[in-house]
Structures are given as C-alpha cells and as structure tokens.
Structure 1
Amino acid sequence: MTRNLDLDLIRTFVTVADSGSMTVAANLLHMTQGAVSQQIKRLEDGLDCMLFMRKARKLELSRQGEQFLVKARQMLRLNDEIWADMTAQSLQGGLRVGVPYDLVTPLAPAMKAFAEAHPRVELSLVCATSPELSEALNGGRVDVSLVEYVASEAEGEVIRIEPLVWVKGRGCDIWQKRPLPLSMVDERCAFRPVVLGALADEDIPWRTVFESGNIEATAATVRAGLAITAWLVSTVPPDLETIEPHAAGLPALPPFAICLRLPSTAQPAALEFARYVRESMSNNAAIPHSRLAKIA
C-alpha cells in the first residue's frame, strides 16, 4: 500500500524545529498556534512516533524527530527546487538578500549572474551582522540570507567552512602589545564573542580600538598598524597579513561556517537565488565537511 507524506505538515514541522516554538512557527506560517499544534499531532500520528518532547516552555526534538528532520529538509528542498526550476522564467517582484559585511564582495558574482538571468526581479541588499540577519530572516524582513556561525553550531545549509584567522598590517608588530589592540567591525559581529572568549581563556588583556559596522574602516585601522582583527581567511585583503597564532602567542580560533538560510515558506525567486549562491560560493576556500569534527 502506497502512503504519501503531506508536505504542508512537513513544512510546519521544519518551521517548528527551526524556531523551537509553536508560537513563533505560527507567526512565520501565518497560522494560528492551534493549527500548528494540530498539524504536528497529525504528522506524529501518521508516523506513529513523538517528534517533539514538550518541556515547560521549551520544545525539543526527540531522537526520532532529529532523524526525521534531516529527511524532511531534503524533501522540502527537492520540492522547492522543482518549483523554482519550473517557474524560473517568470520570476519577478522584489527579493531582499541579507549578507554580512565581510561577504558582500564574495556574494557579488552570484548577485550579478542572478540579476542578468532574471531582470524582472528587483534585488535589494540588506547588510548587517550575522545575529541581526538571523533575526531578520526569522522575522520575515529578508527573503534569503547568508549567515556566519561557529562551524560546530551551524544552522541552515552549509555553503562552506573557513578558518577564522588573526589579521595584521604588513610589517607591524602591534599584536605584541598588551592590552591587545582589537578592531572589530561591529559589537554584534558573530566573530566578536568567539575572539574575546579565546583571549579570556588565555588571560590576554585587550582593548577596543575601533567598532563601526564598516568593514573598510576596520581594514584601514588594521592597515595603519593601530590594531589587529579576525576575519575569514578568504576575506583577508591582499595587502594585509595573517598571523600564525602559536608563534605569536595568540589563541587559535575555531572555523566558521558560511550558511545559506531560507525561510520554510521561501518564494521561488529566493530559491533560485540560493542556487546561484551555491554554484558561486561553495567551491572557494572551503574546508571539506569531513574535516569539521577534527577542527571544530
């Protein structure tokens, strides 16, 4: 007997799993909380297993739920890719693309190729820190976004994994000073808590030289020998230098994942744009996924 899974129920399940809340999922799906709860129950009844464990104010995936989530994402992605392929020629309207400051240049080729292939889609770029972009995606303020996470905590689709490296101006020894002069792009930068935590673990004092939200200004500060910073290895400008942490007495930094985030109800233009991002960015400066466990 052939049995078919209901993709609407699966999409609701993935949204609840991603948000960790029936209420948040209901807002994202434009449904009532009761309707979301009923759909999850229907899916659990059909699969004859509990997908979530209800704990006080928190929802956690059961073991079966964790296993099902992997396959559920694959089903939704295939469904969405089919729709994107079949409707690609008629794409139009607005598309809000979220991107961290340091990934604007790496994303440019994908944006250019997409704009040329789909001239009726009006692209708008939203630049912010990764935590802000994650919030914007969950709140429906962007349609697709790149988000940077510590590799071991990646969410969404991992496009590639890169080392986070210390960076200094050529020929300067500013990294020897204490407190260590730091220049970070923004106080909500995804790298900042990791960098400061690594310094704290080594009891290395630091001071902030510059935080503006402007990556060019940060680069200028480092270029002038006023501070060091931490960037993904592929985004380091050619006129700046990376620092070998052990030789310099600095802590090693964990690798970061560049992730592609789409809402569960992604529009066809966002799905098509995601395809361009994969093709453009997935093969550059990547660390093989098999090495993640060894370096994370």
Structure 2
Amino acid sequence: MLDLDSVRLFVLATEFGSLTRAAEAAGTVQPVVSQRLKALEAMLGHKLLERTPRFVRPTAAGSAFLERARALLAAHDAALRLGDAPPLRFALAASDHALGLALEPLFRRLRAALPPGAGITLRTGLSQEMRARFEAGECDAAVIRREAGGSEGEVLGHDPLGWRGGEGVGLAPGEPVPLATLGPACGVRGAATRALDRAGLPWRESFIGGSCAALLAGAEAGLGIAPMGRIAAGAAPDRGPALALPPLPASEIVLFARTGTPALAAAVRALAAGIRASLG
C-alpha cells in the first residue's frame, strides 16, 4: 500500500524543485523527505526524481506518476471532509516589488501544499500598504520588500535590484536617465534615485506603472529603465553594467504572518518555502 505522506512529499519536491524546500513546506527535515522518497521509489520500482546539488526534477516515470499522485491525494483529502467545516481561506497581501512576476510559480507551490478546496485571496500594492493591511487584520500573511532595514517579521532572503530595460536600450550622453517606476511612494524608486544622485547622474520619471508587469512591459517597450528585483522582474537581465548605471543594493524580502490554526500554519510554511525557492 502506498504511503500517502510519501506521495505528498513527492508532489511537494516536484513543485518546489528542492528536497529542502519540500521539507520546509511539510514541516519536517530534508533527511526525512529523502528517506521517504527512496522508500516510495522502491515500492513503485521506478526512480521518480533526478537529484543534483542544484535542483530536483521528475524523471519520465516521475512525470507519469505526478498526476496520479495528485489525484490520489485529492481523493484522500476529499474523503476526510465528511463534516461541515468550511474550507481554508488564505488571505495574502504582497508587495508587487517583492513578488511581481514570481506569482505563478509561487501559486503552483501553494496549490501543492494546501488542501483541495482551499481558497486564496491576494491583494498587491506598495510595501507600506501591505504591511498596514496585515496590521489591520485584513490578511493572514503579508510579504514586503524592505529597503531600509528593521527587525520585525521573518526575513526570507535578499533579492538584488537591477536596471531592467529592453534589448538594445541605450542612454544618450548627458541626458537624464528615464525611469519607469511605481511612483513617488515606492521604496525601490527611492533606492534607485538615491543611487543616481550619489553617482551624479540626472534622471527623470518617464513612465509610471501600476504593477511590476506594467513596469517591465514599459521598460521592454523603451518607455524607461525600471529598477526592479530579480524575482519581481521574472529574471529579466540587468542592463545596469552595460549602461554604466550605479549598482543597486539588495533588499530584504520579509514575511509577516499569523498561524493561529494548523491549516494556516501549513499555508504559511508553504508560502515561506515557495518564496525561498524563488530567491534561490
């Protein structure tokens, strides 16, 4: 008989691309995950995962087993819901500059960790606004980008800032650097303009967008150069060195969360592990 906990760990390892992050999401440790997965492979008679120091990915047999594993877990979890308990609702507030284009892989990882039927509510905006939503009790967790330091919350890692622009972007000598930003209240904008001021480079705001997706689209269309983090920009290349722009500091990605129930604690673990996996 298949061990369902081992099957769940296999799905998590596949989605997170890491035994360490799968262990974090499951609330256990990496050696336990490795042992359980080896036992699962022995029972099935197939190698399910290719493991290297840098990544974990399914083999051909693992890919074939993955959808069956998801269906098995969904059926099991549905069978346990015999009462009238409402499904989990997880409310998340996230700074757009903290996650940006990393939302799709993060949602896939959350989906693998949350019980079937769970719902997710997402609000995005500037870091100050998202922190305020959390403090007001409007969400279960908030993820922000912190430029100026602080001791509150859990630091999940550091994300380097860079200058994002379209292929072949250039700067005319003596002309102000055209910036694409989220507007004057944005901390990333502040970090970028301070760096330009220290370097003695004039700048102007050429494009203001409402999201990181809009910033990247504007930058790639030649409307301006967007200071953005690596994960928020979807790993778009940093044009700063080629344009002789000053280096930008890395920022902290910080989690604030409430874990009053086991279900919420599991959701927060998966959220933290998913963001750490994106940060690398």
Please tell me the TM-score bracket, short chain as reference: 0.5 to 0.7
Q: Distance in 1 between matches of 2:151 and 2:230?
A: 18
Q: Distance in 2 between matches of 1:266 and 1:218?
A: 37
**C-alpha deviation, 1:224, in angstroms:** 1.8
Q: 1:97 is matched with which residue? A: 92
For 1:108, which of 82, 101, 104 is the aligned residue?
104
Q: How high is the TM-score relative to the length of structure 1?
A: 0.58
Q: 1:254 is matched with which residue? A: 249
Question: Bigger shift: 126-135 or 193-202?
Answer: 193-202
**C-alpha deviation, 1:267, in angstroms:** 4.7
Question: Does structure 1 residue 281 correspond to structure 2 residue 278?
Answer: no
Three-state SS of the structure 2 residue aligned to 1:235 is coil
Counterpart AA for 2:140: D
**C-alpha deviation, 1:93, in angstroms:** 4.1
Q: Distance in 1 between matches of 2:128 and 2:201?
A: 26
Q: 2:237 is matched with which residue? A: 241
Q: 1:205 is matched with which residue? A: 202
Change (3 A) 1:105 1:251: closer
Counterpart AA for 1:95: F
Deviations 1:54-83 (A, max 9, x none): xxxxxxxxxxxxxxxxxxxxxxxxxxx79x
**Cα contact 2:88–2:118 (8 A) shared by 1:** yes
Question: Does structure 1 residue 271 correspond to structure 2 residue 268?
Answer: no
**Cα contact 1:166–1:229 (8 A) shared by 2:** yes
Q: Distance in 1 between matches of 2:275 and 2:256?
A: 14
Q: 1:41 is matched with which residue? A: none
Q: 1:136 is matched with which residue? A: 133
**C-alpha deviation, 1:193, in angstroms:** 1.3
Question: Does structure 1 residue 122 correspond to structure 2 residue 116?
Answer: no
**Cα contact 2:164–2:216 (8 A) shared by 1:** no
**Cα contact 1:107–1:277 (8 A) shared by 2:** no
Change (3 A) 1:129 1:94: same
**C-alpha deviation, 1:268, in angstroms:** 4.1
Deviations 1:80-127 (A, max 9, x none): x79xxxxx9878343211122241442433433434532343211111
**C-alpha deviation, 1:162, in angstroms:** 1.7
* 1:41-56 map, 5 Å: none
Counterpart AA for 1:225: G
Q: How high is the TM-score relative to the length of structure 2?
A: 0.61
Deviations 1:218-257 (A, max 9, x none): 222211222101111233346x531244x63422211111
Change (3 A) 1:192 1:174: same
**Cα contact 1:151–1:161 (8 A) shared by 2:** no
Q: 1:169 is matched with which residue? A: 166
**C-alpha deviation, 1:134, in angstroms:** 0.9
Question: Bigger shift: 130-139 or 108-117?
Answer: 108-117
Q: Distance in 1 between matches of 2:216 and 2:274?
A: 25
Change (3 A) 1:120 1:133: same
Q: Distance in 2 between matches of 1:187 and 1:151?
A: 16
Counterpart AA for 2:185: R
**Cα contact 2:100–2:233 (8 A) shared by 1:** no
Q: Which runs of 5+ in 2 are unaligned?
A: 1-26, 29-76
Q: Which runs of 5+ in 1 are unaligned?
A: 1-80, 83-87, 287-296
Change (3 A) 1:227 1:145: same
Query: Percent identity over the alignment?
Result: 25
**Cα contact 1:91–1:268 (8 A) shared by 2:** no
**Cα contact 1:174–1:228 (8 A) shared by 2:** no
Q: How many residues of Structure 1 are paired with residues of Structure 2 in the alignment?
A: 198
